[in-house]
Homo-oligomer: A and B are copies of this chain.
Amino acid sequence: MKNECEFCSFKSKAALMLSDGEIGRLSDNCALVKLNKGDTVIKQGAFSTNVVYLRSGLAKIHISGPYYEQIVRIVKPPSYLALPTTFGDKINQYSVTVIEKAEVCFIDMIIFRYLLSINPSFSYEIMIELCRNELEVFYRCANRTQKQIRGKIADLLLEMSDQIYHSSLFSLPVSQSEIGNLIDASRESVSRVLTEFNKEGIINMKGKRIEIENRNTLLLISSNG
């Protein structure tokens, strides 16, 4: 399916830098795909000639660790994926899997690199994204290490509510095991803490639906260990 990028209402900040002609080139080499929860967007180790633009939905980035698959971060749109594939060798260095019904554009890598080479503003915006990613991982790194489980879960809930869903009521896009994997804790501990928070009236949880009832207490727990 061909995407009409010129009329796309989910353009990335970088894509806004492109001229009409450039957008046309992009459009001709870009395929929009709708994906469901669990679908693989990028498979680590596979050969690829595409950059992927996450246009809507949610995905997780995970890599194969020494003992098991490790989720390294949740990605929300707008976001470019597989950039290391574009710039390094053509083998995907991590996997990306949809965790919430997503629209994704597969962009031919040659065109993407061509656009980078002729449009410095486009290139500049992509660099900003790369830097932001790096900083985010740094920040997570310190957080993962220094906080205890209650703090890490409080953080995650606040992030979901503030950064991802922009609402105090949302449905967790991942299982408790995946949360555990992401924040470096066992599934059982995640369950225990979530239940605690529920009993303490901090959140109201039924199934995967969560409503944050007491944001301030979460903030407190987040900065307490």
Q: Give me the interface of A with B, judged by CB distance under 8 Å.
A: 61, 63-68, 70, 72, 83-84, 86-88, 93-94, 113, 116-118, 120, 123-124, 126-128, 130-135, 137-147, 151, 184, 223, 225
Contact = CB atoms under 8 A, between A and B. Distances in A.
A63 B142 contact: yes
Contacts of A146: 65-68, 70
A219 to B, nearest CB: 12
A223 B137 CA distance: 24
A111 to B, nearest CB: 14
12 contacts: A65-B145, A66-B143, A66-B223, A72-B141, A87-B124, A88-B128, A94-B138, A116-B120, A117-B120, A127-B127, A130-B131, A144-B145
Contacts of A86: 131
SS of A interface (majority)? helix
Contacts of A67: 146, 225
Contacts of A124: 87, 113, 116-117
